[in-house]
Structure 1
Amino acid sequence: MSSFSSGHAVPIEVEIDRLGAQGDGVAATPDGPLFVPFALPGERVRIEVDADGKNATLVDVLARSPERVDPVCPHFGICGGCTLQHLETDAYLTWKRDLVVQALRSRGLDTKVEPVRPVPLGSRRRATLSLARDAQGLVLGYRRARSHDLIDIDVCPILSPAIVSRIPKLKAVLAPLLGNKREARVGVTETGTGLDVVVHGVRPKETALAKLAAEAGKLGVARVTVDGDSLLLAAPSVRLGPAQVKPPPDAFLQAVPQAEAVMTELVLAGIGKAKRVADLFSGLGTFTFPLAELCAVDAYESDEAALAALAEAARHYAEAETGPHHARDLFRMPLGPQELKPYDAVVFDPPRAGPAAQAEQLAKSKVKRLVAVSCNPGTLARDLRILVDGGYRITRVVPVDQFLFSGHVETVAHLTR
């Protein structure tokens, strides 16, 4: 593994004791822990310590862990997108579960955590890439590990084949947009009607946009949005429960459809026989529409464009009749106990920061059932602690590996009063 070496320091040998929260190997030293990317517990490795004295670069593996496997991607170790392709599957899933277990324990919650629900390779339907010119030419890809430099991507085992197969042609089609800019950010989402592409950081000439419109449609692109302006070739559409929803550019969408299906199943199980449900941080209606097949549901969301897309879909699909759709910033204006009184159950799926203020109001409410969905075990544990202190009991915790080979994990928790 000498390809990992930076060549900037005198190598030393250390033993790796454990995996850190981001997937780095951790070595205990007299000066404190050293974080070593791509090293595994039980391994003896040669490393070069960085100038900060806390991180290190892996030079070589001297004694290999039996749990080490060959990575599935040729870019692994160079690309900064994945941290744990080299860990055997069962050990990897155990580590992911432990991230949730440790987060809960840090808040005094010794709760049973179920095994992680896995997702397959090639299942991620959205990615953020960078488009740039460097000394080697045009690049469309990810950051190098521990670097601001970019690497060109021709394969990516976690991304859907529909995205990966189009990366080379997308690079050529998008190149004229750069103009004199050094770099642009490119978001790509696979929808039911084609790719939805959003480009940030450039203001191209009209001629470049006209050429893009002519070429993009040939690649199965449904929409291209550049600097806020959209070229609509075929309206992007995603299926959420019984409804077809037309997402606005940059709308939040669960990263992996298979993970979304598992999460939806868990959400529906968590509400029991509730007759009326509040769906907080509803977004486009990921859970709103499936819930609407079982009960009355009110959606609350601060992103007005997403809420408008949800409302439009609800109007067009009678089988997905939902209740009122409320534009509301639940971080600043959480629903209070009186507003929560009509609901038998509440579902909330907030951004990574977590809904601490809303959790405090829920803890004061009489709502019988809660379902928490979170991509951040730390803030989830904080909010569950608030709810437990308010009289709720955690009945189920299920991690979902929506973010393959990374230190992120999705979790669904059920609570009852």
Structure 2
Amino acid sequence: MTLAMNEILSVGRLGLRGDGIAQTPAGDVFVPYSLPGETVRAVRDGERAQLVEIITPAESRIAPICPLFTRCGGCAAQHMSESLYREWKRRQVETTLERAGIAAPVADIIDAHGAGRRRVTFHARREGAGMLVGFMVARRHDLVAVPACPVLAPGLARAPAAAQLVANRLGGSNKPLDIQVTASEAGLDIDIRGHGPAGEKLRLSLTEAAERLDLARLSMHGEIVVERRPPQQRMGKAMVAPAPGGFLQATAAGEEAIGALVLAALPAKVKRVADLFAGCGPISFRLAERAQVLAVESDKAAILALTRAASTTQGLKPIASEVRDLFRRPLLEHELNGFDAVILDPPRAGAEAQARRLAAAKTPTVIYVSCDAGSFARDAAILIAGGYALEGVTPVDQFRYSAHIELVGVFRRAKKS
């Protein structure tokens, strides 16, 4: 492919991933870190280009908050004004629904950044005699060291240094590592992936590191090496210690916002609710303040964390739980018909198999929490074809400056006259 050097491009709009898009006779060209209305100089390679110079900046351009912006791949939008940023993220949801032929009102975006992200994954690789710890470089597989990150919650201020110390203890394996650090009410909770089983000598070294760092817990591949204090998270009235490396919403504010949207969408007279893909219970515990709950999740460790917390939490209606793979064994129509509402909170792949069963069931309300607008749109089309109406969609932004957006959609089955 021929590389055109120093081409002048006029940026007309933003793409879903945050790249500026310039129209040319040869087709659209995507220019990362450029904005609508800008004239830029770029190195073009096919439909992608590398920004070289901003000739005419847009009024919507602002100074980034991090000196690593454009090098570190964690953020895509620190250069956007607040109004452009919010409209870009909301438009992602609108465009995805429109492409799927789904008409539904999309509310203003909810800013759920709060105090910042409470979990982060560092990558670690051997470089020379030491271990390099950081984030991936934008659109490359190289690493950039990150001594501090402005989008993290204050509880993760020590996370880069902690990840570096842990990586140093594991450097002898010469394996690339993922080090997930989560801020809990008891301190840092670290789970290491990529190393493989640890021998007794390494476990002792890691235990000493946990003491030195005053960690709440340290684990490898989900197996606890040492737990000095339960790394609890507050979920409604409950205090939950998630499984090592287990799923957790990115920000506490995001979890609160999603929970509030789910509760607000419940029918007025709700008695029984199913929380599918329940994880360790961030939505279940909030639901149980109003209704009996069936929490279903494929991860046994997550369900164990949920049931432990439920057994010690006062003021809740009963929470039943079931370990079940909803991709292979979705709840069937006769199981679904006894619920006043069903909540879906699946991973990025969505919940196609479960949506098909819901489309054939009689459940009056379905509340769908999604981290991927594309899989949501696919599943929404299934529910709509089955007789549901999509009442509305609310975008929730807990990944500030990234292209990632969450959403909550509310479906109602029309009552027969």
TM normalised by structure 1 equals 0.94
**28-37 vs 93-102, which moves further:** 28-37
Contact 2:277 2:297 in 1 (8 A): yes
Q: Distance in 2 between matches of 1:415 and 1:122?
A: 31
The within-5 A match list for 1:93-108 is: 93-108=86-101
| Farther off after superposition, 58-67 or 118-127 | 118-127
Match of 1:167? 160
Confirm or deny: 8 A CA contact 2:243 2:302 kept in the other structure: yes
Unaligned runs of 5+ in 1: 1-7
Q: Which runs of 5+ in 2 are unaligned?
A: none
Q: Which moved more, 1:390-399 or 1:202-211?
A: 202-211
1:242 aligns with 2:237: yes
Equivalent residue number for residue 124 of structure 1: 117
- The match for 2:395 among 399, 405, 409 is 399
Q: Superposed, which structure 2 residues align to 1:72-221 within 5 Å?
A: 72-120=65-113, 122-135=115-128, 137-203=130-196, 206-221=200-215
The worse-fitting range, judged by mean Cα deviation, of 207-216 and 123-132 is: 207-216
TM-aligned CA distance change 1:138 to 1:121, over 3 Å = farther
Greater Cα shift, 211-220 or 390-399:
211-220
CA shift for structure 1 position 390 = 1.3
CA 1:211–1:9: 2 relative to 1, 3 Å? farther
Task: Say if 1:356 and 1:320 are closer, same or farther in 2 by CA, change over 3 A.
Answer: same
Runs ≥4 in structure 1, deviation > 6 angstroms? none
> 1:165: how far off?
3.0
How far has the Cα of 1:164 moved from its partner?
2.8
Identity of aligned residues (%): 40
Shift in Å at residue 205 of structure 1? 5.0
Shift of 1:414: 1.1
Written as runs of structure 1 = structure 2, the 5 A alignment for 1:282-321 is: 282-321=278-317
Q: Structure 1 residue 28 and structure 2 residue 39: aligned?
A: no
- Helix, strand or coil for the counterpart of 1:309? helix
**Match for 1:342: what amino acid?**
G
Q: Secondary structure at the match of 2:319?
A: coil
**C-alpha contact (below 8 Å) 1:283/1:303 kept by paired residues:** yes
Who is 2:374 aligned against?
378
Q: How many residues align?
A: 408
Tell me the SS of whatever aligns to 1:416.
Answer: strand
Query: 1:136, CA displacement in angstroms?
Result: 8.9
Q: Which amino acid aligns with 1:263?
A: I
**1:47 aligned residue (42, 48, 52):** 42
2:129, 2:146 → 1: CA distance?
A: 14
CA distance in 2, matches of 1:315, 1:150: 44
- Matching residue's letter, 1:361: R
The alpha-carbon deviation at position 272 of structure 1 amounts to: 2.1
Counterpart amino acid of residue 282 in structure 1: A
Conservation of the 8 A alpha-carbon contact between 1:129 and 1:142: yes
Equivalents in 2 of 1:255, 1:105: separation in Å? 27
Retained in 2: the 8 A contact 1:178–1:184? no
Q: Which deviations, in whole Å up to 9, do the C-alpha atoms of 1:249-268 show, x marking residues without a partner?
A: 11111111101101100000
Q: Contact 1:154 / 1:164 at 8 angstroms: preserved in 2?
A: no
Q: How far does residue 395 in structure 1 lie from its aligned partner after superposition? A: 1.7
Q: Output the CA distance in 1 between the equivalents of 2:240 and 2:155.
A: 20
- Contact map agreement 2:272 2:339 (CA 8 A) in 1: yes
Q: Indicate how the Cα distance of structure 1 residues 331 and 346 shifts in structure 2: closer, same or farther if over 3 A, else same.
A: same
Give the deviation of 1:121 after TM superposition.
6.5
Give the whole-Å Cα distance in 2 for the aligned partners of 1:174 and 1:161.
22
Cα separation, 2, equivalents of 1:96 and 1:136:
43
Counterparts of 2:358 and 2:113 in 1: how far apart (Å)?
35
In the alignment, is the contact (CA less than 8 A) between 1:121 and 1:159 conserved in 2? no
In structure 2, distance between residues paired with 1:348 and 1:121: 24
Structure 1 residues 227, 270: closer, same or farther in 2, change over 3 A? closer
Aligned partner of residue 140 in structure 1, secondary structure: strand
What is the root-mean-square deviation of aligned Cα atoms in Å?
1.7
The one-letter code sitting in structure 1 at the alignment partner of 2:192 is V
Q: Are positions 1:342 and 2:338 aligned together?
A: yes
Correspondence for 2:219 among 196, 206, 225: 225
TM-score (norm 2): 0.94
Q: Which moved more, 1:278-287 or 1:137-146?
A: 137-146
Deviation of the 1:401 alpha carbon = 0.4
Query: In the alignment, residue 314 of structure 2 is paired with which amino acid?
Result: A
Aligned 1:56-71 pairs, distance under 5 A: 56-71=49-64
* Aligned-residue offset at 1:279: 0.6
Instruction: Tell me which of 225, 231, 250 is aligned to 1:255.
Output: 250
Q: Which moved more, 1:154-163 or 1:74-83?
A: 154-163
- Contact kept, 8 Å, 2:38 with 2:57, in 1: the verdict is yes
The CA deviation string for residues 27-86 of structure 1, in whole angstroms up to 9 with x for no partner, is: 112222211111111111111113xx1211100100101000001111101001111110
Q: Match of 2:6? A: 11
CA deviation profile, 1:76-123 (whole Å, cap 9, x unmatched): 010011111100011101110011111111122221111000134651
